Structure formats: C-alpha cells, structure tokens
Amino acid sequence: MKMIVGLGNPGKKYDLSRHNIGFIVLDYFSREMRMPVTKVKFKSYTGEYLYKGEKILLLKPQTYMNLSGEAVRSAMDYYGIDPGDLLVVYDDVDIPLGSIRLRKKGSGGTHNGMRNIIYHLNEDEFPRLRFGIGKNDQIPLKDYVLMNFPKDEFEILRGSVQDAAGAIGVFIEDGIDAAMNRYNKVVTK
C-alpha cells in the first residue's frame, strides 16, 4: 500500500496560499484519477483506492500544517504502511517557483509540517516531493507562505502542478527512483 500526503492548512482562506501547494497538487491528482478525497479519518480528508493494482491512500491532514505528523502517523500505524511507501507533497521556499524536487529522504529544513512528520515518525527516510514556491526576502517567511499566489504566477504553477501529479503516478507505479529520474526539474523564468 502506498500513502500520498498533501500538506496544507484547512479553511477557505488558505485555499490558494503558497503553503497549500501540497493540497493543490493532491486535489489535481485526485480529480484527474477520479479519486475523491472526501472521507474524514485520521484527522484528515482521505480517499482509498486501487490504482493499477496498487492500493493507495490519499491524505490531506486537517490538523493545520504544524501538526501534520499526528495525522500521518495515525494513518501509517493503522494500515501498517512502510515509510518507503509514503510520499509527502509540500511547499519549499528554498527552490525556485514551480520547480519540483523529489528525494528519498532528508531533513525537514525550515518546513514545520515536515519537521512535525519526522518527529512523529521518528525518522526522515521516506520519499517527498518538494514544490518550489520561491522566496521573497522582503516579507517575513510566516507571512509569505500564507499569501495567495498572484495571478501572474498561475501559468508557471499550472504546468508544475500537472508534473507533480504525474510524479505521484510514477511513484505509485514504479517507485521513487523512477519519479526522481523523470520529474526532478528546475523552472527558470
């Protein structure tokens, strides 16, 4: 069984915020695959499906970003999911807007949601998809990540969200190495 987690904050006011790119990518993937993420379980919205012979769980924690690990740990324990079968999709201010970086493991860096997941799992050896949201040194980080994407960035985001959803499909079918080889990319303006 594979578990795909999109990170974000619950509530309409955060729908298009930079911090919610994990939700945005997972929502796009679920729409494309016709796999609604609407069941409430594990302090999350979930969807459980069979995808090309692989059982998958889609998860959108509703705990707010900084407590995402509670939901992730609860679901992993319930289903006995191995950390190598987990893929977490989240925003990253340290890579350019629209860039995608998949990794097998790593620290949480400055991302409190990832740091909380690592804390609750007591390990950092699980795949992740980092989605670049860019950086603005003139705006405090906590304010910047909660800002909505401006309309002039939508075109960059559209293609990158599609690529990130494609990377999820490759991860499910062929694993993290294949997804890394095919989808790691840097966007330049």
Active site residues: 19
H/E run at residue 22 = helix 21-32
Is residue 155 packed enough to be buried (19+ CB in 10 Å), middle (13-18) or exposed (0-12)? exposed
The rounded distance, in Å, linking the Cα atoms of 75 and 81 is 8
Lookup result for tokens 């970003």 = 65
The one-letter code for the residue type at 129 is L
Contact 25, 164 (CB under 8 A): yes
Beta bridge partners, 100, equal 131, 185
Crossing angle of the two packed helices 112-121 and 68-79, in degrees rounded to 10: 40
